[in-house]
Amino acid sequence: MAKNQALQLLGGLTPAEFLSGYWHKKPLLIKNAVPGFKGLLSPEELAGLACEDEVQSRIVEEINGQWHASHGPFDDEDFAGLPEKPDPKHRWTLLVQSVNHYLPEASQLLQQFDFIPHARLDDLMVSYAPDGGSVGPHFDSYDVFLLQGQGKRLWRVSEQTDLSLVDGAPLRILKNFDTAQEWLLEAGDMLYLPPHLAHWGIAVSDGKTDCMTYSIGFRAPKNQELATEFLGYMQDKLNQEQTTLAGMYEDADLGLQEHAAEISGSMVAKVSAILRNIQWSDHHVADFLGTYLSEPKPDVVFDANKKTSLSNFNKQLVKHGIVLDLKSQMLFTGNTFYLNGEAAAFTGEAAALLTRLANLRVLSADELGSSLPVDPRLLQQLHLWYLAGFLHIND
Ligand code: SIN
Ligand code: CO
């Protein structure tokens, strides 16, 4: 990633300037961030996705000032129940998560945001709304780039510190919202918002082209979640290692206690000493992060590829190259590579190839061809990942 190259996507800032001046700090409006961008799918295609079982989607409605939220999968009847023409008394928005899992163009769009580490990327959410539709004034806990597709959206932002929410609403709506600034975004314009900044995006339609917004969202795990997950990881590690906590509680020095029911100070001290053997290093933390952050979300399923022999896979691999499945998450730390929660360690040429695959999600036949024959252990690993449906032969 060229840190010092000015990007149109960032309004002429370099990634380094954006990171130091704006990221996680303050909003940035970028007119014409993606020239010619009109969106990646039609409202009908988005509605089609929202009807699929494995796709996470929501319809948010504001009916006579009351908020309602329903979750997909939806069917034709659900959509037929929504007003056909904009109705100020009944406004609505359709939101579809992880569109990058279903659309190669969406995954390519995310690649443009490579100046933020993949470990922080969450997904591409796409929304559709007729005139006046919104999810209400709210704040998110995540950084987000809001790229306007077709139509227009009026974004209001507020620097208010009063983040109290409407009681009993099915989604987080701010009780009070004081607009500090507002911008009308058109196709290709983009707004970056840091976490916890109050905002309100209202669809603006000329009656012909309704609003579609592409949210490039970044995840930030809660400290509590990191701790809970890490302790689970350490528990597995200790069970596998068997050596760190070998032995058992011993008390050849047991003295007579006044109260048989009392847990003595001596017992507490002995157990404390045993538990102090549970220690971790940055190596454990790195391994935990690789596994945890590349783990697919619970609703993600991979379709296994058709069984093929190792030698046949090898032939296809060097002829066509490989590409990660759209749902795959690949990260690395040091020489360990993590694909969808599975770890594999490689060095040298194999590690260089996997680094490219992790960064770019694709390895061309030429790249593989330049290091023939493919390292047999790498070939085996790629074959296993191929069979699991984590990666595919390029078409
Ligand atoms: C939307 O696209 O309708 C809402 C996105 C957001 O406010 O986070
Ligand atoms: Co938001």
- The answer to whether the CB of 157 falls within 8 A of the CB of 29 is no
Q: How far is the CA of 135 from the centre of ligand 1 (A)?
A: 6
Q: How far is the CA of 324 from the centre of ligand 1 (A)?
A: 28
The closest ligand to the CA of 146 turns out to be 1
Q: What is the mean pLDDT of the chain?
A: 96
Q: How far is the CA of 111 from the centre of ligand 1 (A)?
A: 21
Q: How far is the CA of 70 from the centre of ligand 2 (A)?
A: 17
Q: How far is the CA of 8 from the centre of ligand 1 (A)?
A: 23
Q: 149 in ligand 1 pocket by Cβ < 6 Å?
A: no
The answer, yes or no, to whether residue 303 has pLDDT greater than 90, is yes
Find all residues with CB under 8 Å of 290, minimum gap 6, and list them: 331, 332, 333, 336, 337, 338, 343
The closest ligand to the CA of 93 turns out to be 1
Ligand 2 ion: Cβ-proximal residues, 5 Å cutoff:
140
Q: What's the whole-model pTM score?
A: 0.94
Q: How far is the CA of 139 from the centre of ligand 2 (A)?
A: 6
The answer, yes or no, to whether residue 369 has pLDDT greater than 90, is no
Q: Decide: helix, strand or coil at residue 185.
A: strand
The answer, yes or no, to whether residue 371 has pLDDT greater than 90, is no
Q: 157 in ligand 1 pocket by Cβ < 6 Å?
A: no
The pLDDT assigned to 206 comes to: 87
Q: How far is the CA of 223 from the centre of ligand 2 (A)?
A: 22
Q: How far is the CA of 140 from the centre of ligand 2 (A)?
A: 5
The pLDDT assigned to 368 comes to: 86
Q: 127 in ligand 1 pocket by Cβ < 6 Å?
A: yes
As a whole-number percent, the residues of the chain with pLDDT over 90 amount to 93
Helices 310-320 and 376-387, interaxial angle, to 10°?
90
- The answer to whether the CB of 110 falls within 8 A of the CB of 100 is yes
Q: Decide: helix, strand or coil at residue 192.
A: strand
Dump pLDDT digits (tens) for 11-59.
999 999 999 999 999 999 999 999 999 999 999 999 999 999 999 999 9
128 or 87, which is more confident: 128
Res. 374 pLDDT band, cuts 50 70 90: confident
As a whole-number percent, the residues of the chain with pLDDT over 70 amount to 99
Q: 93 in ligand 1 pocket by Cβ < 6 Å?
A: yes
Start-to-end Cα distance in the chain: 26
Dump pLDDT digits (tens) for 305-352.
999 999 999 999 999 999 999 999 999 999 999 999 999 999 999 999
Q: 158 in ligand 1 pocket by Cβ < 6 Å?
A: no
The answer, yes or no, to whether residue 1 has pLDDT greater than 80, is no
The pLDDT assigned to 56 comes to: 97
State which of 150, 213, 214 you would mutate to test the pocket of ligand 1, scoring each by most atoms of that ligand within 8 A of its C-beta.
Answer: 213
Dump pLDDT digits (tens) for 228-268.
999 999 999 999 987 888 999 999 999 999 999 999 999 99
Q: 215 in ligand 1 pocket by Cβ < 6 Å?
A: yes
Residue in this structure with the two tokens 């350490």, named with its chain if needed: 234
Dump pLDDT digits (tens) for 151-209.
999 999 999 999 999 999 999 999 999 999 999 999 999 999 999 999 999 999 988 99
DSSP codes joined into one string, 316-364: HHHHH-EEE-TT--EEEETTEEEETTEEEE--HHHHHHHHHHHHHSEE-
The answer, yes or no, to whether residue 137 has pLDDT greater than 90, is yes
Ligand 1 atom with the smallest distance to the CA of 213 is 2
The structural domains of the chain, ordered by start, are: 8-218 (2.60.120.650), 310-393 (3.40.366.30)
Work out the angle at residue 183's Cα, subtended by the Cα atoms of residues 27 and 4, and round it to the nearest 5 degrees.
40
- Region 289-304: mean pLDDT is 96
Residue 44 burial (CB < 10 Å; 0-12/13-18/19+)? exposed
The answer, yes or no, to whether residue 2 has pLDDT greater than 80, is no
- The answer to whether the CB of 284 falls within 8 A of the CB of 317 is no
The pLDDT assigned to 139 comes to: 96
Sheet containing 391-393: order of strands: 362-363, 322-324, 391-393
Ligand 1 atom with the smallest distance to the CA of 133 is 3
The closest ligand to the CA of 125 turns out to be 1
Ligand 1 atom with the smallest distance to the CA of 127 is 2
Strands (DSSP E) contained in 101-151 are 121-129, 144-148
The answer, yes or no, to whether residue 271 has pLDDT greater than 80, is yes
Residue located nearest, by CA, to atom 1 of ligand 1 = 127
The pLDDT assigned to 4 comes to: 87
- Region 132-140: mean pLDDT is 96
Residue 276 burial (CB < 10 Å; 0-12/13-18/19+)? exposed
Structure token digits, residue 90: 């009944």
Q: How far is the CA of 113 from the centre of ligand 2 (A)?
A: 18
Find all residues with CB under 8 Å of 186, minimum gap 6, and list them: 148, 152
Q: 140 in ligand 1 pocket by Cβ < 6 Å?
A: yes
Res. 75 pLDDT band, cuts 50 70 90: very high
Q: How far is the CA of 127 from the centre of ligand 1 (A)?
A: 7
82-86, 94-98, 222-226: segment of lowest average pLDDT: 82-86
State which of 99, 123, 135 you would mutate to test the pocket of ligand 1, scoring each by most atoms of that ligand within 8 A of its C-beta.
Answer: 135
